[in-house]
Amino acid sequence: MSLISAQNLTIVLNGQTVLKNVNFSINRGEIVTIVGPNGSGKSSLLRALIGALTPASGTVTRADNLRIGYVPQKLQIDATLPLTVRGFLNLPHRQPRTVVENALKKAGVGDLAKRQMVDLSGGQFQRVLLARALLNAPDILILDEATQGLDQPGAAAFYRQIDDVRREMGCAVLMVSHDLHVVMAASDRVVCLNGHVCCEGTPEIVADAPEYRALFGTGTQGAFALYRHEHTHSHDHDPDHDHDHTHCDGAH
Amino acid sequence: MLDDFLLRAALAGVGVALAAAPLGCFVIWRRMAYFGDATAHAALLGVALALSLDLPVFSGVLVVALAMAVIVAGLNGRNVSTDALLGVLAHGALAIGLVAVSLLPNQRVDLSAYLFGEILAVTRGDLAVIWGGAAISIGLLVWRWQALLSATLNPDLATASGLNPKREQLILTLALAVTVAFALKVVGALLIAAMLIIPAATARPFSRSPETMAITAAVIGMISTLGGLAASFAFDTPTGPSMVCVAAVLFATSTGMAAIFRR
């Protein structure tokens, strides 16, 4: 039985259809990565799955008592807000001290509890966000481009941390990412999104692509490599488009 | 013992400072300075409405401030570019309020009392309204403190934790409208936003947690109020503006000290 599933999900934001008839599900312990160009509705899908967006039509079903650990795309803490890392982890529900310290340790930042949030580096900040997501021993960890703003080694180290966490806690992981080489190494399944589900499959299918290997490296190029491999039609980067893409379904 | 008008003024000012300062922290954390302005300026329209309908001024102000706050909060959630729009609303509300008050038939309204407050004319009844309102506003903040902070940090994170950020925003909006309504008598429509923002901004450099910032802001607000009252008495200056002047001087001092210590 799946942890979260979406049936015929359509999402309209400010009059624009950002997602159309999307079907999605993730099972216990599974690692699923969503890739797609900017504006393809990746974040909207995640936000609908956690319940932060109400779909225009379709349904989202979450397993009973599902514990979600959510790491947002970006979290801008205003410099006027004084907040220690420990204080941050105690929001909105106060946690026992040991729980907070364990979560920080698991995320690889056990020594930062007393630091101010606004003083953290990008990599430290993302790890603190990860620690926060781990507090309630989640069934599923949801990460929305959690490595945005990190350099390549920083992003790789962050994903290794996630991998460690998953091995230890056995939670499912759902992430949106541009770092496709990391995706290849870790994911059970890759979902290609561009306003709709373009294609879906095991990373091996994608990894075999010579174009992808040639472009192995920076995130954006990797994303386009995947697109060229999986689709012969051209994307106009408009999530509203409704062209036929049946040939795309042959990917899995 | 409340016979002395200075004592009543001091109590009124302290009540406003206690409620406004912690609320002001949220106003600056959420970058809603204009939100405070728009709500406060709308108060004047509430005065005109109350006087023309023969209602208590407090209730008119509360209703209009609440309406304005809800409108502005709604715009905020829609992700439209709100900066200019908030500017229009804040100053538009003030102008319409000024015109509306001037159009009132057979009314000799002392406009400056509503614009700058008349803390020295606070009655026992006013004191009851101010402290009652302050208790409601502080109570709301204390009750929802953790949830409000979470929603301020990131609405999606709050949702994932099972909170409803829109509800928290509404609670903040309600507290703001109540505070504007009872602070009008003390500092006036033009300077309410100052009593919200300046003590909070002054407290920031000395705070390492949101709680200490709120408490420090409340203390700074009280010092500003009492200092302004004393200055006003000594130099025969208008009381509301004197209080804001003291707060501004404290802010400059605090910011300057922070800059020196950081070096």
For residue B111, pLDDT over 90 is answered with no
Closest partner CB to B153 (pick from A69, A84, A91)? A91
For residue A144, pLDDT over 70 is answered with yes
For residue A153, pLDDT over 90 is answered with no
Query: In this prediction, what percent of chain A has a pLDDT beyond 70?
Result: 77
For residue A166, pLDDT over 80 is answered with yes
* A47 CB within 8 Å of a chain B CB: yes
The pLDDT, as a whole number, for residue A181 is: 63
What b-and-e string marks burial along B213-238, b requiring 16 or more CB atoms within 10 Å of the CB? Answer: bbbbbbebbbbbbbbbbebbeeeeeb
**Element (DSSP H or E) covering residue B251:** helix B239-262
The pLDDT, as a whole number, for residue A244 is: 39
Would the CB atoms of A72 and B207 count as touching at under 8 Å?
no
* A169 CB within 8 Å of a chain B CB: no
Would the CB atoms of A81 and B152 count as touching at under 8 Å?
yes
State which residue of chain B sits closest to A85, comparing Cα positions: B209
Q: Tokens 């993730």, residue? A: A26
pLDDT digits (tens, 9 = 90+) for B61-94: 999 989 988 887 777 655 555 677 878 888 888 8
pLDDT digits (tens, 9 = 90+) for A186-237: 788 888 787 887 777 777 766 565 544 443 333 444 443 333 333 334 444 4
Q: Which residue has the higher pLDDT, B61 or A179?
A: B61
Would the CB atoms of A78 and B31 count as touching at under 8 Å?
yes
Interfacial A residues in 122-151 facing B (CB < 8 Å): 132, 142
CB neighbours (10 Å) of residue B54? 6
User: Is ipTM strictly over 0.90?
Assistant: no
* A75 CB within 8 Å of a chain B CB: yes
For residue A152, pLDDT over 80 is answered with no
CA dihedral B55, B60, B61, B67 (to 10 degrees): 180
The pLDDT, as a whole number, for residue B263 is: 63
Task: Give me the CATH topology for the region A1-67+140-147+171-244.
Answer: Rossmann fold (3.40.50)
Instruction: Find out whether B229 and B240 touch, Cβ atoms under 8 Å.
Output: no
Interfacial B residues in 4-23 facing A (CB < 8 Å): none
Q: Which residue has the higher pLDDT, B241 or B72?
A: B241
Closest partner CB to B159 (pick from A51, A80, A87)? A51
* B204 CB within 8 Å of a chain A CB: yes
State which residue of chain B sits closest to A78, comparing Cα positions: B29
For residue B161, pLDDT over 90 is answered with no
Residues of A in contact with B30 (CB under 8 A): 78
The pLDDT, as a whole number, for residue A221 is: 42
* Domains in chain A: boundaries: 1-67+140-147+171-244, 69-137
The pLDDT, as a whole number, for residue B11 is: 94
Mean pLDDT of the B95-115 span: 83
Would the CB atoms of B208 and A84 count as touching at under 8 Å?
yes
* B91 CB within 8 Å of a chain A CB: no
Q: What does each C-alpha distance from A28 to A141, A175, A183, A216 come to in angstroms? A: 11, 14, 18, 30
The pLDDT, as a whole number, for residue A207 is: 57
Q: How close does chain A come to B207, measured CA to CA in Å?
A: 6
Instruction: Find out whether A5 and A56 touch, Cβ atoms under 8 Å.
Output: no
Q: How close does chain B come to A1, measured CA to CA in Å?
A: 21
d(C-alpha A143, C-alpha A164), whole Å: 15
* A65 CB within 8 Å of a chain B CB: no
d(C-alpha A87, C-alpha A90), whole Å: 5
Residue A145 pLDDT grade (very low, low, confident, very high; cuts 50, 70, 90): confident
* A72 CB within 8 Å of a chain B CB: yes
Residue A23 pLDDT grade (very low, low, confident, very high; cuts 50, 70, 90): very high
Query: Which of A151-160, B66-75, B103-112, B142-151 reaches the highest mean pLDDT?
Result: B142-151
The angle subtended at Cα B250 by Cα B244 and Cα B256, nearest 5°, is 135
The pLDDT, as a whole number, for residue A199 is: 72
- Pure H helices in B117-238: 124-143, 145-153, 155-160, 165-187, 192-203, 210-235
Complete domains list, chain B, with CATH = 5-190 (1.10.3470.10)
pLDDT digits (tens, 9 = 90+) for B165-200: 889 988 998 999 999 999 998 889 888 999 999 999
The pLDDT, as a whole number, for residue A101 is: 93
Interfacial B residues in 20-39 facing A (CB < 8 Å): 28-31
State which residue of chain A sits closest to B166, comparing Cα positions: A52
Average pLDDT value for chain B: 88
Q: Three-class SS of residue B52?
A: helix
The pLDDT, as a whole number, for residue B82 is: 65
For residue A7, pLDDT over 90 is answered with yes
Would the CB atoms of B161 and A93 count as touching at under 8 Å?
yes
The pLDDT, as a whole number, for residue A220 is: 42
pLDDT digits (tens, 9 = 90+) for B207-239: 999 999 999 999 999 999 999 999 998 999 989
Q: Which residue has the higher pLDDT, B112 or B256?
A: B256
* B112 CB within 8 Å of a chain A CB: no
Average pLDDT value for chain A: 78
Interface test with A, best of B145, B153, B168, B255 (most A CBs within 10 A): B153
For residue A50, pLDDT over 80 is answered with yes
Instruction: Find out whether B126 and B118 touch, Cβ atoms under 8 Å.
Output: no
